[in-house]
Every structure is written in structure tokens, then in C-alpha cells.
Amino acid sequence: MIKVAFYDAKEYDKPSFERCGAQHGVQFRFLETKLNPDTVGLAQGSDAVCVFVNDTVNAAVIDQLHAYGVKLIALRSAGYNNVDVRAAFGKVHVVHVPAYSPYAVAEHAIALLLTSVRRIHKAYNRTREFNFSLNGLTGFDFHGKTVGVIGTGKIGRIFIDICRGFGMKVIAYDLFPAPDSGIDYVPLDRLFQESDIISLHCPLTDETRHMIGAEAIGKMKKGVVIVNTSRGGLIDAEALLEGIKARKVGAACLDVYEEEADVFFEDRSGHILNDDLLSRLISMPNVIVTSHQAFLTEEALNNIAETTVGNILSYFHNDGICDNELCYRCGSIERCKKERKERCF
Ligand code: NAI
């Protein structure tokens, strides 16, 4: 039996992971707490840890895991900005789930966008109170509008396909444009200037942190709608709030927030929220916040569990070779192992 400490476990995680683990000899110990320097001790005696987006997997945590003999950090997410992959090199192997349902995320981005632009959230509340007035509910047609997509990987491209179905003009920016994709790539500044809607689908890196800040917002069209289902740190939330107050940003749809780690995924309804910025954003009539929910479909949960268990099995039963390993050494964190077909260390 391979023993795995499963941090930040939620009710919706358990059925798929229990089923998949039982089928393949992987025993998950579900822990409600997040992984951080204070809770790393709970991993003692485990062969691997399974972590999610708001677990803290910094150098100190990695050193401690290494000291406990933990061999593998299995991310049950695609993004890995919360893991110090460089610090892990030579100590603990890191694997992730590169794709589980890009459709889930792209479709959620569209759901947020339609809800916001057509004021569905307002209408829902009104009709529940038998208020059938339409005042203030005017939206705009997607057809003919320009959408700027930043990041044209798996999710970005599905989002683009859906937008094209609406008859929107799509322009895009990517650090590594996909050749022969038929996507109209433009410089970032032009994307900011021409887009009616901007949707973020790139990873959070040192380069992309706060890529949507005061300067970028200054270049955008008045009334622009900004959608972020990627990572909160892509947006400088204070600058976004200023943009909204100045009536420059027409609406914001946020599934992620830079300081979400202590708030999202939990029921805080009986508490006073200490984050004034998030409170202010939520209080805006043209901001919709969901709690990092874009991935949450049946299909995605099953794929996440299957790939994670597959990653764990390949590591422990395949000489440590796993296609989904993350290793910084060869320059391309995600491609290193696949191209080498050998252990990175
Ligand atoms: P992907 O790796 O397939 O695509 C990312 C794209 O971003 C690539 O084309 C890459 O070249 C591009 N990129 C990298 N650096 C860039 C930069 N500096 N500027 C512009 N583009 C850049 O990733 P995928 O699967 O499409 O996921 C995108 C992001 O969505 C993930 O990084 C993750 O943070 C987020 N995500 C959010 C979820 C949620 O539940 N809200 C669930 C899954 C992913």
C-alpha cells in the first residue's frame, strides 16, 4: 500500500480519490488542514503528499518532507506556482495534473461572462422577490465584440472556440504563440487597446504577476470586462478596484483572487471578513466572484483522481519515471521529463 497524506481535503475530493485509490493500492489519509510549515509534521510516515493550489510548498516545507522520507509531492492541480520546484530538485519529486478538464474552466469563464454581461445574478435575486422590473438589466451582444485572450494553451483555446461560436472577434497574446493555430496574435498593448472583453488563461509567473495593473487598465477600452479564471496574482486587485471606481472597467468576473488562500473554499458566512479589498470588490454591482470553482465538474474530479493516482503509481512502480513530473533543470519545467524519458535525479 502506498501511503499518501492528502492535505486540504474537501468533501467533494473524497469519493473519486477513495474509489481510485482503493482500486490501485493507494491509501489516502484525508487531512482538512492545508500544508504549511506548521502542519508538515502530519506527513510523517507517508510515502507521498497530495496537495492543492493553496497549500504552501516552499523550501522549508520541502526540506522537512525530505527529512521525513516523503518521496513525492503530487499536485492535484494543473498550476504549480505554490510549489518551489527549484527547491524540490534533488530532494522530492513533484508531479501535477496537466489537464483534467480544460472544458470545465473555459466553460466557467463563459458562465461568469454571460452572467455578468446579461445581469443574470441581478435578475435571479429580483424574481425571487417577485420584482419583475427590467431597469438596470441592459446587457450587450457578444456577437461582433472583440475578445482578447491572454494565454492560448489548453483552456485558452477552448475559450476561443466558444467565443467564435458567439460570433466574436478573437485576438490573443501568448509568450509562445502556437504556429498554424489560426489564432490572430497581437502585441499585449494592442490587445489591451482593442478588446471589449479580456480573459486571462496564462500561468502565474514572475513575468505575469500583476500583468493587469494600473498601467494596463489605463490602456484598455472604457467599459472593458475582465475575466480571470487563471490565478489571482495576475491582477493587481487594488488597481482593478480603482479602475472599477473610475468607471473604466465595466465589469470583473473573478474566480481567483491573489489573497484567496485563507478565504476561498471555506464557509466564512458567519465571520467578519478581514480582507477589505475583497469585501469592496464583492460589494460592487459589476463584480462577480466565485471561489476558485472553475475546475469543479464531475468529469474534472474523476480525471484529477485518476491522473493523480496514475502519477503516484508511475513514480513508485515505474522506476520513478512519470510523464507529469515537474522539474526545472532542463529549462522547460513541464517538458523536461517527457523528452528525456529518464529520471531527472
Ligand atoms: P497551458 O499550459 O495549456 O496554457 C498556458 C498558456 O499560457 C501557454 O500557451 C503558455 O505559452 C502561455 N504563457 C506562458 N507564459 C505566458 C506569458 N508570460 N504571457 C502570456 N502567455 C503565457 O495551461 P492551461 O491548462 O490552459 O491553464 C491555464 C491556467 O489556468 C493555469 O496556469 C492555471 O493557473 C489556471 N487554472 C485555473 C483553474 C481554476 O479552477 N480556476 C483550473 C485549472 C487551471
The pLDDT value given to residue 338: 56
Reported confidence tier of residue 42, pLDDT bands at 50, 70, 90: very high
Phi, psi of 161 (to 5 degrees): -60, -45
Known catalytic residue: 19? no
Known catalytic residue: 260? yes
Ligand 1 contacts (CB < 6 A) are 78-79, 99, 102, 105, 150-156, 173-176, 201-203, 205, 207-208, 229-231, 255-256, 292, 294-295
The pLDDT value given to residue 321: 84
**Mean of all residue pLDDT scores within the chain:** 95
Known catalytic residue: 242? no
| pLDDT beyond 80 at 171 | yes
Residue having the nearest C-alpha atom to atom 19 of ligand 1: 175
Residue 247, number of CB atoms within 10 A of its CB? 10
The pLDDT value given to residue 320: 81
Q: What is the pLDDT averaged over residues 292-304? A: 96
Do residues 292 and 76 lie in contact, with contact meaning Cβ atoms separated by under 8 Å? Answer: no
Reported confidence tier of residue 194, pLDDT bands at 50, 70, 90: very high
Q: Where are the alpha helices (DSSP H) in the chain?
A: 14-24, 59-67, 85-88, 102-117, 120-128, 154-165, 188-194, 214-219, 237-245, 276-283, 298-317, 336-340
- Residue 211 CA to ligand 1 centre (angstroms): 14
Residue 249, number of CB atoms within 10 A of its CB? 26
Q: What is the pLDDT of residues 312-342, one digit of tens each?
A: 999 999 888 888 999 887 667 776 655 656 7
Which of 230, 288, 297, 334 most suits a substitution to test ligand 1, by most atoms within 8 Å of the C-beta?
A: 230
Q: What is the pLDDT of residues 5-22, one digit of tens each?
A: 999 999 999 999 999 999
- Residue of 108, 119, 258, 260 with catalytic role: 260
- Residue of 107, 108, 231, 306 with catalytic role: 231
- Residue 228 CA to ligand 1 centre (angstroms): 11
Do residues 231 and 81 lie in contact, with contact meaning Cβ atoms separated by under 8 Å? Answer: yes
Q: Where are the alpha helices (DSSP H) in 135-272?
A: 154-165, 188-194, 214-219, 237-245
For the chain, domains (ranges, CATH) are 2-100+297-326 (3.40.50.720), 102-289 (3.40.50.720)
- Residue 151 CA to ligand 1 centre (angstroms): 6
Pairing of β 249-254 and β 224-228: parallel
Cα separation, 141 vs 110, in Å, equals 14
The pLDDT value given to residue 319: 81
Do residues 43 and 195 lie in contact, with contact meaning Cβ atoms separated by under 8 Å? Answer: no
Q: What is the pLDDT of residues 228-266, one digit of tens each?
A: 999 999 999 999 999 999 999 999 999 999 999 889 988
Which of 154, 155, 188 most suits a substitution to test ligand 1, by most atoms within 8 Å of the C-beta?
A: 155
Q: What is the pLDDT averaged over residues 134-161? A: 98
Atom of ligand 1 lying closest to residue 208 CA = 18
Please give the share of the chain, as a percent, with pLDDT higher than 70. Answer: 97
Which of 105, 157, 159, 332 most suits a substitution to test ligand 1, by most atoms within 8 Å of the C-beta?
A: 105
| pLDDT beyond 60 at 111 | yes
